[in-house]
Amino acid sequence: MRSHASEKSEDIALHPRSARARALREEAIVEAAADLFMVKPIEDVKMTDIAERANVGVASIYRYFDTKSNVALRAGSVLWKRFGDGFDEVIDRLDPDTPAISRIRAILGQYLEMSKRNLRFMAFLDELDRIILAGDFDIAQVEEYEASFARFRRVYDQLCRDGMEDGTIRSDIDHNLVYDTALHALMNEAQKLERGNVVPSDDFSTTRELECLMEMSIFYLEGSGR
């Protein structure tokens, strides 16, 4: 399978002097970094690795990005888009006449399946969170990153409103707190699954804990109209 970065490099070769080429080169760098971050932790990826995969010189990377942290933040937006593309079909298939809790179950089920197949992505998100907390980013940079996954919350918020109207979702809880708690727990669990067992009593050979986490979230959300 051809990488996203190699496709961008071919486009650059066709337009070597244009402003479009400069934009494509920057995009190729970000795509290359995103590919690499899905193979190993951010801290283990060197700028030279990114340059080699993007088919550019290391100096070219520093023309666009001051640090690897800046590259990682941009790559985060790219990876959220890749991850989110799989949801469009599920959202389009949702029947607005079905109970809201059933629609949330369908979306969370898809989220769970995609998380199982993309454990490295979930671990990457936790790594990136730590970089953002420790870094000195412009607020605009962080807002741009946040916008890349804001649509998930918007869909969830709308379904919660629908559920409070049809009685299938509780109205006496903080729905955003449920969302944030489930997402953060999912990222932590994904890290453990990717890392493997640490002590003899651990058993991360299956994704049952992820499934349990999602079921607990749905059970907590469910209202008396279920």
Average pLDDT over residues 2-25: 63
Give the pLDDT score at 6. Answer: 56
18-28: pLDDT as tens digits: 778 888 899 99
pLDDT value at 101 more than 70: yes
The DSSP line for 172-210 is SS-HHHHHHHHHHHHHHHHHHHHH---STT---SSSHHH
Give the pLDDT score at 12. Answer: 47
What phi and psi, each to the nearest 5 degrees, are found at residue 169?
-130, 135
Distance (Å, whole) CA 23 – CA 15: 11
Confidence band of 44 (pLDDT split at 50, 70, 90):
very high
Hey, which of 117-121, 177-181, 204-208 has the most confident mean pLDDT? 177-181
**Which domains does the chain show, CATH number per domain?**
4-65 (1.10.10), 76-221 (1.10.357)
Give the pLDDT score at 79. Answer: 95
Contact 79, 121 (CB under 8 A): yes
Mean pLDDT of the chain: 84
